[in-house]
Structure 1
Amino acid sequence: MARTQGSHSDITGPRIRKAALRLFSRRGYAAVSMRQIAAEVGVQAGALYNYTPDKQSLLFRLMQEHMQELLNSAAELPATENAIEALKQFVGFHIRFHLQRPDEVFIAYMELRNLTPENFAEIEALRRNYEDTLEGIFKQGQVEGLFTVTDSKIATLAVIAMLNGVMTWYRTEGRLTLDAVEQIYWDMVRRSVTR
């Protein structure tokens, strides 16, 4: 499909995704139209289809890019000496990575229901890859005799849910610094899984 004359795909495409991200996170996917996205970017509604086949594809791409960035960043974390250090590193990484991306986090969790079954399956597989990282830490800690975890999968989901809670209430201008919040959460996680 030909682009509009004078358009720049390397500029307009990211602007469309940024506008969609902002609108989906503020109003919800179902309440946002392609016309609203186009108006936000400053292009005709029909021009959007030069960059994305439809709204579903746009939502999927936003989620996929977020999950891939999360996985890539997690893969770059340095090696640790043992499971305790790995868990502490995971806690800090998860909190800080997600706090910098509130719109992406909101969409990644709240808009899953709006994905087609095929798109849902792909995003769910990426999420499972990330969860497997934490579950692997719990299993390593059990082997090392450092953790008492009855069910590593449930522990994984519980810890991620707890860490995600920070995104809903933390404010930089609040009474606690991010370092203090991270330490408190680390203490809670550690106490919940250690002997």
Structure 2
Amino acid sequence: MPKIVDREKYRKELLWKSFDLFAQKGYASVTMREIAKELGVSTGTLYHYFPNKEAIFLQLVEEQFQQDIINFLAEAGDIKTVPERIRALVNFTQKNEEYFISQFLLWSDFYQHQGKSEILNNEILKRVAQKSRQELLKYLEIEDKAIADFVINFLNGLICVRMFEGEMISYEEQGELLVQMVSGYLANW
């Protein structure tokens, strides 16, 4: 009797395993052959699921985004106010800092390898960016896209600064400033 394989589940497993390799060695330096070897599959199997390394990366970005949303919402629970929701975002970022740093470094390597125009014109990356803002607006229960942009930029900036300054920058202190800024902004509208 032939083995029954859930192809979608297997594809996702390959994606998540490839993240570790990309994060460790960088996007540019990893080949499809090396990915297949590290994942313990043949190159033919890898090509069956993904036409090239870029496709692996882009599908990984989509998969990580979806899983990050699921993980965050499960952890955050039912929080009622915008300040509490922002604190939950900051806490989630802090708890998963190493993962987000690895993600940031991988994205930076991809950016350097692909180039600015390729990145800015990539439909998958545009879709993920737009969806992340929509999910944040829905979570915060607000309609002002500028706030979603601000919160995302703030958290990304906080991750970047902590890569170089570590504990000198406090999530708690910066998170409270973010709460005050957003709350003050909303109070004036």
Same fold (TM over 0.5): yes
Q: Distance in 2 between matches of 1:43 and 1:190?
A: 47
Structure 2 portions without partners, runs of 5+: 185-189
Displacement, 1:22?
2.4
Displacement, 1:153?
5.2
Q: Is the 8 A contact 2:79 2:85 kept in 1?
A: yes
Aligned to 1:163: 158
Distance 1:70 1:110, change over 3 A: farther
The DSSP-based 3-state class of the residue aligned with 1:53 is coil
Structure 1 portions without partners, runs of 5+: 140-150
Aligned to 2:79: 80
Count of residues in Structure 1 that have an aligned counterpart in Structure 2:
174
Structure that is richer in helix per residue: 2
Q: Distance in 2 between matches of 1:74 and 1:16?
A: 22
Displacement, 1:128?
2.3
Identity of aligned residues (%): 18
Q: Does 1:118 align with 2:118?
A: no
Match of 1:20 among 12, 18, 21: 18
Q: Is the 8 A contact 2:28 2:110 kept in 1?
A: no
Task: For 2:88, give the aligned amino acid.
Answer: Q
* 1:25-51 residue CA offsets vs partner (Å, 9 max, x unmatched): 233323221011122223332231233
Mean Cα deviation higher: 86-95 or 157-166:
157-166
* 1:107-131 residue CA offsets vs partner (Å, 9 max, x unmatched): 3565357467222222222332344
Q: Is the 8 A contact 2:12 2:63 kept in 1?
A: no
Q: Is the 8 A contact 1:15 1:41 kept in 2?
A: no
Q: Distance in 2 between matches of 1:106 and 1:129?
A: 24
Q: Distance in 2 between matches of 1:154 and 1:101?
A: 18
Q: Is the 8 A contact 1:87 1:134 kept in 2?
A: no
Q: Is the 8 A contact 1:102 1:167 kept in 2?
A: no
TM alignment of 1:111-190, pairs within 5 A: 111=110, 114=114, 117-132=122-137, 136=141, 152=147, 155-165=150-160, 168-169=163-164, 181-190=170-179
- What is the RMSD computed on CA atoms of the aligned residues? 3.9
Q: Distance in 1 between matches of 2:94 and 2:108?
A: 15
